[in-house]
Structures are given as structure tokens and as C-alpha cells.
Amino acid sequence: MIFNRRNFIQTSALATLGGIILPHNSYSKMKNGVQPVKGLKLSFEPYNLQLKHVFTLAGSSRSTTPVMLVKIEFEGITGYGEASMPPYLGESHESATKFLSALNLQQFTDPFRLEEILEYVDITAPGNAAAKASVDIALHDLTGKIMQQPWHKIWGLSAEEAPVTSFTIGIDTDEVVREKVREASEFKILKVKLGRDTDKQMINAIRSVSEVPLCVDVNQGWKDKQMALDMIHWLKENGVKYVEQPMPKEQINDTAWLTQNSPLPIIADEALQRLTDVQKTVGVYSGINIKLMKCTGMREAHKMITLARANQMKVMLGCMTETSCAVSAAAQLSPLVDWADLDGNLLISNDRFDGVKVVEGKITLNELPGIGIQPV
């Protein structure tokens, strides 16, 4: 399924593609002068985030991230959503345009039916997790605004339970790393991407200027479990609090051994995407890193947290490079988690929204309804 022409024409009537309104076939329905649009009105706009610094992972570097900014309108109220699509995850402006154009949300006249609407969105095509998340986020923003409450309150959470967020220090020369760490003095925990020959050098460069707690993301970079364990012991001595995805996700037995022997919690990232993946991380990892762009949005993320907690697992909430739209959506869940890594909006120079803030390193939710944002 399912990008047939009939669906595309029906729904593309609603889509704004880069500012161009596509032709539509709804003229016949409007001939009596009656506005026929009673359902949800979806529109979207491709956008490129400009990174403040070139971003280096274990394997690639880039200076922009494509996102799709999404609106769902209903009875004069607008819900905002966003899909962030870093290239290595396989989505793009093109794939998201194709996916969102194939959706007919106009058939839904009650935005509260999230279970039904998001089931329809999910089965429209496989994959497209970020594009699906953009719809989920916009619907949460919309329904929260109708209820006039932010989602952290609707979920029964207390804003002051929100954790501190880590801030990522990219791989760079010692001099640049030291400079970045000094600039990040507001943050109570810094995140470091490891998995290269220079891992210890990177930690030492940070420790030469700061005693701030650290967490590390290895992005599957270590292949040998004993070497990984030795490294984790060294990292613990150097003030690291937890380790994300130390080994390739396929090395399940090695990872389970590492988790069992590690003095630090081992968090699954690449090893899981969605709700159905949580169970297979039990007994292998200490916890999971949930990202809206991987798991299709707030609704599924909330269920994943419930499931992880029932299995006595740690929960971390992460993000991609995103505007304050998707970051604020994730932040609504943050009072439920142990650690947040919600710095995606802090890394860009062209944010389109005002939303959640980081105050003295802590995620600070506002009282705005929905996901807590305003366009700027």
C-alpha cells in the first residue's frame, strides 16, 4: 500500500508544498458555496535546519538537517508537528511529502480519536517513522489546545519532575572541545560521542577544563566486549553516568554480558525503535532511549515508557536535530524519564518556534496548552 492516484489527488488538495498550493478536485463539493471541509486539515512545509556547528558522528558530518513542518487545523485551532529526518535514517523531504500527501485526514471529524487516526496513519505505509511522528505531534498539540492544557498535565505529570538535559559535545580537536565545554557551562551533564581511537583523548580534553558529569553515546562503535567493559570502568572513574549503545545491536549476547558486568547503566538506542521492540531489550540492556522520530510520536512513546517501567528498566528521552516544536513535544514526557537528551533545538540557528526552555540545565516546561509552543 498505497500511494494510488485517487488518494493522492484527494489529499493533495490540502497540502502546501514549499508554498505552492496544489490543484484540487473539491470544486464539485463546493458548488453550493458551502465549505465542505469538516474534517482535519493537514498541511506541511519542507524546511532545512541550519546547525550552529558542523556535527560529527562516528562516521559522518553535516551542517543542515531536513525537517518537515506540519499543521493540522480543526475548527479554527492549529496543531503544530514536525518530522526531523537526518539522512542516515532514510527519510527525506521527498519521502515525507509522498507519505503525508497520501494521507486523507479529512475523513476524520473528531481529532480526539488518536488511537483510530494514528492506526490509520501507521498502516498507510511501512517505515516513515518521522513523518508519522509529525502527525502524532500535531494531533497532540491540537487536542491539548482544545482541552486548554499541556500534555504533561493531561498525562498527570508534575513539571518540576522534569530532569536535566544533556548537551552534546561533538568530536573535534582538543582545543575546540575545551572551548565548547566552557560555552556549555549551563548544563549539568554533557554528552560525548565515542567509538573512535580518540575516545580517551576526548574525555581527557573535557576533564582538563570541567568536572561536569558526562554520559557517552558509542553508536555501536565497540566490537569487543572485554575492551568495552575495560573502557566503561575507565569512564566511570572519569565521571561518566551511563553508556548508550556501546556495541553493535546484533551482538545481543555480548551486550547482555556487558550489561550484567558493567558498573554503569547500558542504554539501548539503535537496538530499538518502537513499542514492539521494547520487550527484546529486557535482560540485554539496563534501559532504553526513546526518540519521537523513531517511535512515531508521543502516543507510542508514552506506552513505551509504561512498558519499560513495568520491566524495571531505565528510560532516556532523546531527539534529533529539531526545532522547539518536536523538542517541546518530547519534553511533555520528560517528567517520566531518568535522563533527557533534548538539546536538538539548541544546536540550530533558525528555530521556527518558541517552546520548552533549558534553565540551569533543567528541562523547564511552560503552561501553554498542547505541546507548549508558539510560532516565532
Residues at the interface with its own copies (CB under 8 A): 110, 112-116, 118, 146-149, 153-158, 161, 275-276, 278-279, 299, 303, 306-307, 310-311, 335
Look at residue 219 and give its three-state secondary structure. coil
Which is closer to its own copies, CB of 53 or CB of 153? Answer: 153
Please check whether residue 79 is in contact with residue 126, taking contact to mean a CB–CB distance below 8 angstroms: no
Which is closer to its own copies, CB of 112 or CB of 234? Answer: 112
Look at residue 374 and give its three-state secondary structure. strand
The least distance separating its own copies from the CB of residue 17, rounded to whole angstroms, comes to 29
**What HEC string does 242-304 produce?**
EEECCCCCCCHHHHHHHHHHCCCCEEECCCCCCHHHHHHHECCECEEEEEHHHHCCHHHHHHH
Which is closer to its own copies, CB of 160 or CB of 237? Answer: 160
Burial of 8 (0-12, 13-18, 19+ CB in 10 A): middle
Which is closer to its own copies, CB of 110 or CB of 224? Answer: 110
The least distance separating its own copies from the CB of residue 77, rounded to whole angstroms, comes to 14
Please check whether residue 263 is in contact with residue 234, taking contact to mean a CB–CB distance below 8 angstroms: no
Sheet with 41-56: strands ordered across: 41-56, 61-74, 77-84
The least distance separating its own copies from the CB of residue 295, rounded to whole angstroms, comes to 13
Cα 285 to Cα 142: distance, rounded to the nearest angstrom:
36
The least distance separating its own copies from the CB of residue 327, rounded to whole angstroms, comes to 22
The least distance separating its own copies from the CB of residue 119, rounded to whole angstroms, comes to 10
Burial of 22 (0-12, 13-18, 19+ CB in 10 A): middle
Which is closer to its own copies, CB of 148 or CB of 208? Answer: 148
The least distance separating its own copies from the CB of residue 306, rounded to whole angstroms, comes to 5
Which is closer to its own copies, CB of 149 or CB of 364? Answer: 149
The least distance separating its own copies from the CB of residue 309, rounded to whole angstroms, comes to 8
Which is closer to its own copies, CB of 204 or CB of 306? Answer: 306
Cα 304 to Cα 273: distance, rounded to the nearest angstrom:
10
Cα 215 to Cα 235: distance, rounded to the nearest angstrom:
9
